Amino acid sequence: MIDVPPQLPHFGDGNIKFHELCGLVPGLMKARLKEVIRGTNVKFGLPAEARARRLAEVDVAIAEVEAQHTALVEAAAEVGITLPLIESVRARREAEALKAERERVLEQERAAGIFRAPWPGKPGEAAAATSHDAPGAGACTRPGAAATMKHRGTKRGARR
């Protein structure tokens, strides 16, 4: 019989890496990491109240910069210079315009006697009366249909 001395498990190059130690002895690694973190006397981030206050200050500063930039873009447009809006302002304006258009169309349809039921799962949005007047004409408007339909027109769902 051959006598083999005990050995640690072999991991690739022979060195045990951090993630391997975490897998082998997770409780011990958690305890040691806690000791290391507590021993550094480092505080992570601001307290919750100060963090909320600072975030509010940053939001106000961002709104001010967006307002200044929007005013500059509009002033430039008055003299014939085209400048792009900040992306968040552009997206917000597009969303507001789309919402206003939807509301205008709904009011016209209500005036004409067409009433739409609320769309399930999307509070505040109206469902299309039929698929031909839905956004993206011809789309299936059955609730939950999007979740069950295959990806048509892509490699993943295309018929071969």
pLDDT digits 0-9 by tens, 14-62: 678 888 888 989 999 999 998 888 888 777 788 889 999 999 999 999 9
Residue 118, both tokens: 């609320």
- Looking at the DSSP bridge assignments, the partners of residue 118 are 126
Do residues 128 and 141 make contact, with C-beta atoms less than 8 angstroms apart?
A: yes
Do residues 128 and 115 make contact, with C-beta atoms less than 8 angstroms apart?
A: no
**4: amino acid identity, one letter:** V
Taking alpha carbons only, the member of 105, 100, 139, 146 closest to residue 122 is 146
Taking alpha carbons only, the member of 49, 87, 82 closest to residue 65 is 87
**95: amino acid identity, one letter:** A
pLDDT band at 133 (very low <50, low <70, confident <90, very high): very low
pLDDT digits 0-9 by tens, 142-152: 555 554 444 44
pTM for this model (two decimals): 0.41
